[in-house]
Structure 1
Amino acid sequence: MLSKEKLQRISVLSKKSKSQGLTVEEAKEQTTLRKEYLDTFRTSMRETIENVRVFDPEGNEVTPEKLRQKQNKNNRLN
């Protein structure tokens, strides 16, 4: 999770970019912060998806085989 300060800085830079433009240094900072945010988001989303189990209305597990294999592989490592 990104710190509150970094998230606020992303917002500040975004607003400034729309209103008056950014300096070269600010644009680089914005790019770095956005990349860090996306990396954090993707990691979190991947971890969430890899821990999901899917059930049909009758209660039978119908988790896709590829996902089950990934979950089994992860469980062996832990």
Structure 2
Amino acid sequence: MEKINRINALAHKSRTQGLSEAEKQEQLALRAEYLQALRKNVSAMLDNVIIEEEDGTRHRPAKRKER
């Protein structure tokens, strides 16, 4: 939660005052870290999805290829 708060604080400061180069680099690093964690969580959630067809059969969706 601290990282999200820091991302939001930097975004607010960016809109109001502007950011220094160090703050811009910190913002980019925090955003990249956040997106990586988000993708990992969504991927883990989708790994637990089971589709049940009308005939009662159950299966997992095919894995999506990496980009």
TM-score tier after normalising by the smaller chain length: 0.7 to 0.9
**Structure 2 counterpart of 1:49, one-letter code:** L
Structure 1 ranges of 4+ moved more than 4 A: none
Give me the whole-angstrom Cα distance separating, in 2, the residues matched to 1:18 and 1:59. Answer: 53
Coordinate RMSD, CA, aligned: 1.4
Give me the whole-angstrom Cα distance separating, in 2, the residues matched to 1:43 and 1:60. Answer: 28
Residue 20 of structure 1 is matched in structure 2 by 17
**TM-score, structure 1 length as denominator?**
0.71
**TM-score, structure 2 length as denominator?**
0.81
Give me the whole-angstrom Cα distance separating, in 1, the residues matched to 2:56 and 2:24. Answer: 51
- Alignment length (residue pairs): 63
User: Which of 32, 35, 38 is the aligned partner of 1:35?
Assistant: 32
Unaligned runs of at least 5 residues, structure 2: none
Q: Deviation of residue 41 (structure 1)?
A: 0.2
Q: Deviation of residue 22 (structure 1)?
A: 0.5
Identity %: 37
**Structure 2 counterpart of 1:17, one-letter code:** S
Unaligned runs of at least 5 residues, structure 1: 68-78
Question: Which secondary structure state, in structure 1, belongs to the residue aligned with residue 18 of structure 2?
Answer: coil
Give me the whole-angstrom Cα distance separating, in 2, the residues matched to 1:24 and 1:16. Answer: 13
User: Which of 8, 11, 17 is the aligned partner of 1:11?
Assistant: 8
Residue 55 of structure 1 is matched in structure 2 by 52
